[in-house]
Amino acid sequence: MASEGARGRAGERANTDLRLAAELIRSGGIVAFPTETVYGLGANALDPAAVARIFAVKGRPRQSPLIVHVDSIDMARTLVLEWPDGADRLARRYWPGPLTLVLRKRSLIPDIVTASLATVGLRMPSHPLALALIRAAGVPIAAPSANPFTGLSPTTAEHVRQSLGAAVDLVLDGGPATVGIESTVLSLAGEEPLLLRPGVIPLPEIESLIGPVRIAESAGAGAHASPGMHPRHYRPRTPLVLLAAGDHAPVGRGEWLRLGREMPAEPAAYAASLYATLHRLDAQGLDWIAVERPPDAPEWAGVLDRLTRAASH
């Protein structure tokens, strides 16, 4: 009976936190919340002043657009000028889930959300607490990862508290993220589909639904077509180096994450544990973190992208 009472109190607390979070979103606040990929730092996507707080808290440049989180295909369609057949096929296959679709936006999406671009990235997360928050708030939620810009993304509520602290109005704790790296971002706004950021969905899977997809190059100057395109991104404070299996470790005190030993040999499990492992090592005051380079294969593309950017100097 005691355990049932404890569960009841925990459920009441969760419901109270959810109601408070929804009210904060509606009133211009910023809330860190869990998704299946990483924790997001959310604000009402239709409120420019609230969205501006996200950029200020993260130290994020305005040329890096935000992803808008929705609770349904119906909500997504209210935010874009057109909903092409490819978007419908992909959304019905991967939503809710770790896929962001970039489409031509309606004018109700403020320019600050999209770096003044004519497009907006939309995603329906699969985490039940994220969906409950969007539904309770009644508005789409703009949310990048809940961490300082270019830093290591958070996969637990504690990671958010350690990196952003009291700058966030509320942190909703939904447990560890299960996917572990950010969403795949695919643009359908141009003449041909364009992969802006790889994730855990292998590109051949996407192409089997919509045909050939071109892969974008890293962003240069000006507005980025997608978040995560900055060449230096996803970085722990400790210097990170990518090494081949037979390479020698750097000089000093560090940790070498080898494939199939310290890190899982299966790509989905690797992605799920990557950021949590780097957060743990980053707290140890090491001179370096070495990571064995994963295979150059479609199912590893998202992990390899994150590690390559994290290792950039």
Torsions phi, psi for 177 (to 5 deg)? -65, 140
Q: Are residues 193 and 270 in the same domain?
A: no
* Helix, strand, coil percentages, rounded to 5, for the chain: 35, 20, 45
Contact 105, 122 (CB under 8 A): no
Provide the whole-model pTM: 0.93
Report pLDDT digits (tens) over 133-156.
999 999 999 999 999 998 999 999
Q: Are residues 204 and 273 in the same domain?
A: no
Q: Are residues 158 and 283 in the same domain?
A: no
**Which range has the worst mean pLDDT, 86-90, 209-213, 219-223?**
219-223
In sequence order, which residues have a C-beta less than 8 Å from that of residue 145 and are 6 or more positions away? 38, 39, 40, 41, 153, 154, 182
On whether residue 198 sits in a domain, the answer given is yes
On whether residue 220 sits in a domain, the answer given is no
Q: Are residues 81 and 198 in the same domain?
A: yes
- pLDDT at position 57, please? 97
Q: Are residues 143 and 209 in the same domain?
A: yes
Phi-psi region of 100 (alpha: psi -120 to 50; beta: other; left: phi over 0): beta
- pLDDT at position 7, please? 59
Q: Are residues 166 and 260 in the same domain?
A: no
User: Exposed, middle or buried: residue 198 (CB in 10 Å: 0-12, 13-18, 19+)?
Assistant: buried
Q: Are residues 211 and 251 in the same domain?
A: no
On whether residue 276 sits in a domain, the answer given is yes
Structural domain count, the chain: 2
Tell me, what CATH number does 89's domain have? Answer: 3.90.870.10
The Cβ-side half-sphere exposure at 202, using a 13 Å CA radius, reads 10
Report pLDDT digits (tens) over 1-17.
556 665 565 567 778 99
Q: Are residues 300 and 193 in the same domain?
A: no
> Residue 264 sits in which domain range?
240-310
Query: Measured in whole angstroms, how far is the alpha carbon of residue 231 from the centre of its chain?
Result: 16
On whether residue 232 sits in a domain, the answer given is no
Report pLDDT digits (tens) over 45-59.
999 999 999 999 999
Report pLDDT digits (tens) over 251-304.
999 999 999 999 999 999 999 999 999 999 999 999 999 999 999 999 999 999
Percent of the chain residues topping a pLDDT of 90: 87
